[in-house]
Amino acid sequence: MFYTLICFSICSCSPRVATNISKSYPPQEPDAPVVIYTRQQDVPPQSESLGTLIVDDAGFTTQCDSVTVFSIAKDETRKVGGNGFLLTAHSRPSIWSTTCHRIAGTMLFISDFTMPSTDAALSNINNSVSKRLQPRMTLSFDAGYGWRTAKLSDELNSYLKEFMKHLMSGFALDASFIYFCNDFYGVGLNYYQYGSSHKDYAQDLNTLQSGELKKTVRITYIAPVFPIRFPFGTSKNVFLLDINLSIGYIGYKSMESFVNYNAVHSGSSIGFRSDIGLSYKFSPEWAIGFKLTSATGTLSQMEVNENGKKTTTKFDVGKSESLEQAGITLGIRYYIK
């Protein structure tokens, strides 16, 4: 329920609409056609001005792509009985100012659409204002390498320090589903896993037992993610710069075995993650890309299972198990309109 509320609040902020009505007719049907003009000379002579309209950024507005703002213009025109809209101003999104399309224009009632070359002009006009630039949904899958950036404890002896160094880097998997409210902002779900494993011949100095020491570490991260997307490039070579921020569940599990000893250490906490990625769209549906990631989280206690005996270990004040890590991954993106 909480995640649903977050999605709704982020993706439901509408633009600000201001109208100045000078004349009106009975409202048109909700699906009645409204023709959009971008040049005064294309407007048929048999037309009347019904008033002006402005669709603007309301602040933190997300539902403000070109399709949405022009749909609002059409709806407002229908309300006053109009069937035409003359666009007088159109500010496109920019990462330096606003991520919204902003428009202004005049609502019209046109009694006669007969005009030379009108059909061809209207086809081009309405296609240009109703095309979404970027897809609504993205599925991504990445694989790569990760590094744990936390410092090893000074209490470890030289052998264990050297052994643990091999567990400080490993394989990383990353998968996400994102729904974009507009060309820039979105909300989604992210799954990330880091894994490393190492084994070596060892001897217990207390019991003098010797054998293979093996340890496997898994760090799992699951969280809602709030991405910002910046499209750039040409119409044929589209690049997408993505910045993702999230807070969610981070879990730790290590499995250790030596001769007749087996232990599992596990714990979970709140984690924070950020990443920045760059994708190249080689088709409308597919892209390749990479991510640079950073995640953090700390454990104040762990559940320990040693040869079937379960206990809870709490760390002293000022001490904890750090799950800080960084990584780089490469992968594919599939876009859904």
Of the two residues 1 and 46, the one the predictor is more confident about is 46
Q: Which of 232, 140, 218, 151 is closest to 184 using CA atoms?
A: 232
Contact 53, 105 (CB under 8 A): yes
Name the one residue in this structure whose structure tokens are 């910045």: 243
pLDDT at 157: 84
The CA-based angle 210-213-215, given to 5 degrees, is 165
Tell me, yes or no, whether 239 and 287 share the same domain.
Answer: yes
Instruction: Inform me whether the pLDDT recorded for 128 exceeds 80.
Output: no
- Calculate the average pLDDT of the chain: 86
Of the two residues 152 and 214, the one the predictor is more confident about is 214
Tell me, yes or no, whether 75 and 155 share the same domain.
Answer: no
Residue that finishes a domain, picked among 95, 112, 129: 129
Tell me, yes or no, whether 64 and 89 share the same domain.
Answer: yes
Predicted TM-score (pTM) of this structure: 0.70
Q: What is the pLDDT of residues 274-298, one digit of tens each?
A: 999 999 999 889 999 999 999 999 9
Tell me, yes or no, whether 216 and 330 share the same domain.
Answer: yes
Tell me, yes or no, whether 149 and 33 share the same domain.
Answer: no
In this structure, which amino acid lies at residue 102?
Answer: R
Tell me, yes or no, whether 123 and 142 share the same domain.
Answer: no
Structure tokens at 124: 């081009």
Tell me, yes or no, whether 63 and 201 share the same domain.
Answer: no
- Residue 333 burial (CB count, 10 A): 23
Burial of 284 (0-12, 13-18, 19+ CB in 10 A): exposed
Tell me, yes or no, whether 227 and 97 share the same domain.
Answer: no
**CA gyration radius, the chain:** 29
> Mean pLDDT, to the nearest integer, of 77-96?
87
Instruction: Inform me whether the pLDDT recorded for 3 exceeds 50.
Output: no
Q: Under the phi-then-psi rule, with left for phi > 0, alpha for psi from -120 to 50, and beta for the rest, what region is 208? A: left
pLDDT at 61: 62
Tell me, yes or no, whether 123 and 177 share the same domain.
Answer: no
Contact 176, 186 (CB under 8 A): no
Instruction: Inform me whether the pLDDT recorded for 306 exceeds 70.
Output: yes
In this structure, which amino acid lies at residue 42?
Answer: D
Residue that finishes a domain, picked among 112, 129, 146: 129
pLDDT at 301: 92
The most confident of the ranges 148-162, 194-208, 226-240, 270-284 is 270-284
Contact 255, 216 (CB under 8 A): yes
Angstrom distance (rounded) from CA 72 to CA 77: 9
> 194: Cβ–Cβ under 8 A, 6 or more apart, which residues?
146, 148, 170, 171, 172, 217, 218, 219, 220, 325, 327
Query: Is beta strand 286-296 parallel, antiparallel or unpaired with respect to 35-37?
Result: unpaired
pLDDT at 83: 94
Tell me, yes or no, whether 316 and 170 share the same domain.
Answer: yes
Of the two residues 222 and 42, the one the predictor is more confident about is 222
| Structural domain range at position 51 | 2-129
pLDDT at 131: 53
Binning pLDDT at 50, 70 and 90, where does residue 12 land?
Answer: low
Of the two residues 288 and 317, the one the predictor is more confident about is 288
Instruction: Inform me whether the pLDDT recorded for 207 exceeds 90.
Output: no
Contact 110, 47 (CB under 8 A): yes
CATH number, domain of 310, equals: 2.40.160.20
Structure tokens at 220: 């799992």
Tell me, yes or no, whether 275 and 170 share the same domain.
Answer: yes
Tell me, yes or no, whether 100 and 164 share the same domain.
Answer: no
Q: Which of 50, 55, 79, 52 is closest to 66 using CA atoms?
A: 55
Angstrom distance (rounded) from CA 193 to CA 172: 6
> Mean pLDDT, to the nearest integer, of 51-64?
81
Residue that finishes a domain, picked among 107, 129, 151: 129
Instruction: Inform me whether the pLDDT recorded for 116 exceeds 50.
Output: no
Instruction: Inform me whether the pLDDT recorded for 330 exceeds 60.
Output: yes
pLDDT at 84: 93
How many domains does the chain fold into? 2
Binning pLDDT at 50, 70 and 90, where does residue 198 land?
Answer: very high
Instruction: Inform me whether the pLDDT recorded for 5 exceeds 50.
Output: no
Instruction: Inform me whether the pLDDT recorded for 99 exceeds 60.
Output: yes
Binning pLDDT at 50, 70 and 90, where does residue 214 land?
Answer: very high
